[in-house]
Amino acid sequence: MKIYLINGESYLQINEEIFNIIKDSKNVTTFDLNANSLEDVFLEAGYFSMFEDEKYIIVKNANFFGSMKIKESDTELLLNYFAKPHVNSTIIFICNEKIDTRKKISKIIKEKYSLITIPNLKYYEIENRLKNYFTKLKYKIDDESVKYLVSSGQNNYDIIMNEASKITLYYDEPCKINYHDVINIVSKSFNSNNFLFVDALVENNLEKSLSLYNDLKVIKTEPTALISLIARDFRIMYNIKKSLEENKSEYTIMRDLNLADWQLNKYLNKVFPYKIKELESILIKLSNLDLNIKNGKVDKFIGLELFILDLCS
């Protein structure tokens, strides 16, 4: 009869906290509220076979504990379960946004159950964890390499540990890590993924778009910033398409849109498969998505993901 609400930005730290709760239990079920409903969660919480002991239920993307709006029916479901939780079920809600403690559902967990807030790690704490990671795997790494890893990863624990994993894969066995190898292995510009993501989206490459989007979510890229980048690309493409239909020369298009010749060539390849009505429709959808996110009608992560699926379907 336990309920936890874990709040934090780092997926790795959240997973560490979950492991501390469930230990070595094999009776674990995971739900993602982007795909599942609260009814699914509570049905699972109430279901037991004759041979089961305690079960653990992990509920990802429970961001209605933060700024995300929640339906009245879902609030009622939560309050009813909080009043009488199943004795053998432990539910672990995960919220990646700041908890809104004014909400009744948040207050109840704070007062009656367990609210675990995971603060972002400080620079020196990440350094220490990084050193321990390599030491446990019997690698030797100098302070200069550690500092380079932390600064390149923008003090983001998840990114840094992902890069550390790449380094161990590169060497394949315990050894002394070379500083210059670290520089070559570690991604030099995480921002480049933003543009790779937009390119994949414009090319209607669903698999690549979703893969890059998931990477960008890990490094906490703001969806509204990505929406602006996407809209910028499609706006340029729309203006180029319109100019071509008006029989304007390439020189005139470059001058009007302030593009270099290589940029125009790149956009000409991008715009070729699209009709002008399609581009107009995409820009309207992006504008509505941005407005609905700002008005709190749509979750920013879900909204952008649905846009990707719609565009690439």
Comparing CA positions, the residue from 125, 129, 105 lying closest to residue 115 is 105
Find which of 103-107, 196-200, 300-304 is predicted with most confidence, using mean pLDDT: 103-107
Per the model's pLDDT, the better-predicted residue between 126 and 185 turns out to be 126
Per the model's pLDDT, the better-predicted residue between 38 and 294 turns out to be 38
Cα separation, 99 vs 193, whole angstroms: 29
Q: What is the pLDDT of residue 214?
A: 82
pLDDT of 221 strictly over 80:
no
Reported for 177-183, long-range contacts at CB under 8 A and 24+ positions apart, including other chains, are: 177/134, 177/139, 177/140, 177/141, 177/142, 177/145, 179/142, 179/144, 179/145, 179/148, 182/141, 182/145, 182/148, 182/149, 183/148
Q: Could you write out the DSSP letters of every residue in 145-173?
A: HHHHHHHHTTT-HHHHHHHHHHHHHHH-S
pLDDT of 190 strictly over 60:
no
Among 61-70, 98-107, 191-200, where is mean pLDDT lowest? 191-200
Instruction: For residue 49, name the pLDDT band (cuts at 50, 70, 90).
Output: low
Tell me the domain boundaries of the chain: 2-117, 123-185, 192-312
Comparing CA positions, the residue from 174, 165, 212, 164 lying closest to residue 190 is 212
| Residue located via tokens 């670290």 | 182
Which H/E stretch holds residue 114? strand 114-117
3-state secondary structure (DSSP) of residue 67: coil
Structure tokens at 153: 């990863």
In this structure, are residues 37 and 64 in contact, taking their beta carbons and an 8 Å threshold? no
Structure tokens at 40: 């699914």
Structure tokens at 286: 């992006």
Integer angstrom CA distances of residue 313 from 87, 103, 195, 276, 309: 44, 37, 21, 19, 6
**Where on the phi/psi map is residue 98: left (φ > 0), alpha (ψ -120 to 50), or beta?**
beta
pTM over 0.95: no
Which CATH number is 2-117's, of 3.40.50.300, 3.40.50.261, 3.30.70.1350, 3.40.50.620?
3.40.50.300
Q: What is the pLDDT of residue 50?
A: 60
**Span 157-184, pLDDT tens digits:** 887 888 898 899 888 889 999 998 888 8
Cα 66 to the center of its chain, rounded Å? 16
Percent of the chain with pLDDT over 70: 95
Among 45-49, 58-62, 68-72, where is mean pLDDT lowest? 45-49
Please give the average per-residue pLDDT across 5-26, as a whole number: 89
Per the model's pLDDT, the better-predicted residue between 191 and 299 turns out to be 299
Cα separation, 80 vs 63, whole angstroms: 19
Q: What's the whole-number average pLDDT of the chain? A: 86
pLDDT of 311 strictly over 80:
yes
Could you tell me how many helices (H) and strands (E) the chain has, helices first?
15, 5
Integer angstrom CA distances of residue 53 from 18, 50, 288: 18, 9, 48
Q: What is the pLDDT of residue 156?
A: 78
**Span 278-295, pLDDT tens digits:** 999 999 999 898 888 887
CB contact set of 1 (below 8 Å; sequence gap of 6+):
85, 86, 87, 88, 89
Q: What is the pLDDT of residue 114?
A: 94
Q: What is the pLDDT of residue 92?
A: 96
Cα separation, 3 vs 85, whole angstroms: 8
Which CATH number is 192-312's, of 2.60.120.590, 1.10.10.10, 1.20.272.10, 3.30.450.40?
1.20.272.10
- Edge-to-edge strand list for the sheet holding 28-32: 28-32, 55-60, 89-95, 2-7, 114-117
CATH 1.10.8 fits 123-185, yes or no: yes
